[in-house]
Amino acid sequence: MPLKKDDIIECTIESLAVGGRGVARVEGMAVFVAGGLPGDIVSARIVRAKKRFAEGVVESVVTPSSHRVDPRCAHYGECGGCAMQDLEYSEQLAQKAAQVQSSLNRIGGVDVAMDAPLASPAQWNYRNKMEFAFERRDGSLHLGLRAQLPAGEKGLAPVLDIEECHLCSSRDIDVLKAVRDFCRESGVAAYDPKTENGFWRHLVIRRTSLGEVLVHIITSADRRKYPQVETLGAALVDRFPELTCFTHSSRSKRSTLAIGEYVEFRLGSKVVEEMVAHGDREARYHVSPNGFFQTNTAAAGELFGTVVEFGEFSGSETVLDLYCGSGAIGVFLADKVKRVVGYEISEESVAKAWSSAKLNDLTNCEFVAGTLDATANLKSLPKPDVLVVDPPRSGMHENTAKALLRLAPAKIIAVSCDPATLARDIKRLSEKYELTRVRAVDMFPHTHHIETVALLVKK
């Protein structure tokens, strides 16, 4: 008998799907169960039923998994920032590696023995960047992380006024509370994307491994209220002496991205300095308020080290670094090769890549701003010996994959934050390339995210 919405079933959770939901089998059908952990026997309520699969939510745990542990955070289960605090870390790592293997098999059509996954060097307090959202609700100002949406619901979850978070430094939570108190007392409303009214939009805190701290306030473009932000900045610099940079940016677009469009006010430096280390290699980087950088600095060392290991560089190679961002990988491996050429669509990121190369006294790096969707740009790419590609979650553009086949370097090292799009891209390249090594690197303990490094060798 087919499953229907609101049916209550008892099932055994066999594994975790990409995204963190438990996977059970009921009469041959896959049921994705929010809140279920591998090894659990649960009573679940069906919230969505289709011909080939169903979705459910745990009503109660009948028999808990041996891998269940007590979550550390008081907000766990309500806050949307974590998904796996109640699963022991070794099992988190095993499940994430299995998801990569499954995606490669199902989507990529390849069967390769994976390297053992690399754990994050730190399981707690590892995040170097936190993005907090403001919200106006019930006449009050809220600042924190988005709550967890109930199973089956879509849209923007309400903001939860968190009092603790174990993914970042406890000092970051002190800054959060200070900003929340100030903004409430200011009497100025938080921004509402539906009405486009209000002022406060996002708070971003970045804390580097070198002890430098950047606080970035993003507001709407209401100049009458800018003095409030300047007062806030002065108060934070006075209260938190480690603060290196305070930046106020405005944003006019309705979308809820924590990215400023125009810098309105700044105290301190324009950038903070970060350092990534692995083995005997240390690389330093300039990171701007809107700049992207890997959010787990210690694990970034493991990720970049894997790229160097897979490359087996002799020192004579020209490396093409596509979707290079602010040049993090290219700068890290530049002392191992003859030349690095990076491409990135963001001009701001390219400027920071040049700055970081200079910071490390590198003279063999160059970075170019341009889209990798454009045929003209792809035809002008230099002939590399090794190609490193680290695209966004959506993976490589199809034109980029075709260009790689034309360039035909001896090796392609693919870095990915999404196993499904990685598998799709590997399949696109299978005409000329064989997948020889794969390693999952956990940058995000207690969340469903996983990074993967794959080595493709020309047939």
323: annotated binding-site residue?
A: yes
- Residue among 79, 183, 324, 417 flagged as catalytic: 417
CA 451/CA 413 separation, integer angstroms: 13
373: annotated binding-site residue?
A: no
Query: Per the structure block, which two tokens stand in for 411?
Result: 């090796």
Q: Determine phi and psi for 377, rounding to 5 degrees.
A: -65, -40
245 is catalytic: no
Query: How is the beta sheet containing 451-458 ordered, strand by strand?
Result: 365-369, 339-344, 318-322, 386-389, 411-416, 451-458, 433-441
344: annotated binding-site residue?
A: yes
Q: For residue 79, what are the β-bridge partners?
A: 76, 147
390: annotated binding-site residue?
A: yes
**DSSP states of 10-71:** EEE--EE-TTS-EEEEETTEEEEEET--TT-EEEEEEEEE-SSEEEEEEEEEEE--TTB---
Q: Determine phi and psi for 23, rounding to 5 degrees.
A: -115, 125
- Cβ neighbours around 438 below 10 Å, total: 26
Residue 449 three-state SS: coil
Q: Which active-site residues does the annotation give? A: 417
Annotated binding site for S-adenosyl-L-methionine: 294, 323, 344, 390
Annotated binding site: 294, 323, 344, 390
